[in-house]
Structure 1
Amino acid sequence: AGLPATGLLFPLALRANVSDPKSLVRTILAVNERDQSLTFAGDIQEGTLAQLMKANFDRLVQGASEAATSTKLSANGCSSTLAVAISCVGRRLVLGERTEEETEATLDVLPRGTQQIGFYSYGEISPYTTGTCDLHNQTMTLTTLSEAA
């Protein structure tokens, strides 16, 4: 009933175990009623804890702002900055007409005069706070390039 499109509003948060601080998001791509199976964008290991999430417009925009905050830490003292934004197409579909708020939120945080380019993808590969890279769904990743002053 509306799947997989409505699945964008209810992605899965995955954790290896209850105490694992690392959480990955997976979005549903397809439903196979004959096999009674779901296909997700990215691997889900057997035994992984899964929790349904509910899309929240304000938290999506806040997440983009937080991504900009973490990149800004490494761009201090630079004369010019280019930000490459890669946002999940699922976020675009959820945000709808509010899509611009995501890019505006990043530019509000990044150094004044930052130029930003970007595109939509079906999954983003970026490091988690631990430094290891993972495939993420419904996220925005930012890469900043800057020249020292």
Structure 2
Amino acid sequence: MFREYGNVIWENVKKLPRGYSHGDLHRGNLLRTTAGKYYILDFDTSSYPIPMYDIMIMCNSTDYFNFNEKGYENSKNTYESFLKGYTKYRSLSKEELDSFYDLIAVSSFKRLLLKFMDLNCVDKEFLDNQLNWLIKWREQCSKGQII
């Protein structure tokens, strides 16, 4: 099941435009000074993959370890709000816009693969929970007409 879903989302994102990406652009890596200026921190995962990945990280409101029914709706609302400002400065293709939900699944796969680096953290229960998370996420995306 992991392989099947992984292949589906890979097909959906593999042709997205490449460019600079911070790689971990979440709210915790933004510093706001008392003067109101923002600074981006923590560039250890920056590279040239898919810039849309940064937008996904910034707007993703899911809980990787515990599936929450509200994660999809919260992420959708954050994403739509974010785009109102972002697209004033940079346009996104339809493929980029549509990739948001697939990239959340990619992020889940990425974290899963990182866990395999420490096999003491991976057991049948962990894998079953992650597969269940991905299945539920895919179902929610299908109901939202986005796969």
What is the TM-score of this pair, normalised by structure 2?
0.30
What is the TM-score of this pair, normalised by structure 1?
0.30
**Greater share of residues in helix:** 2
**Greater share of residues in strand:** 1
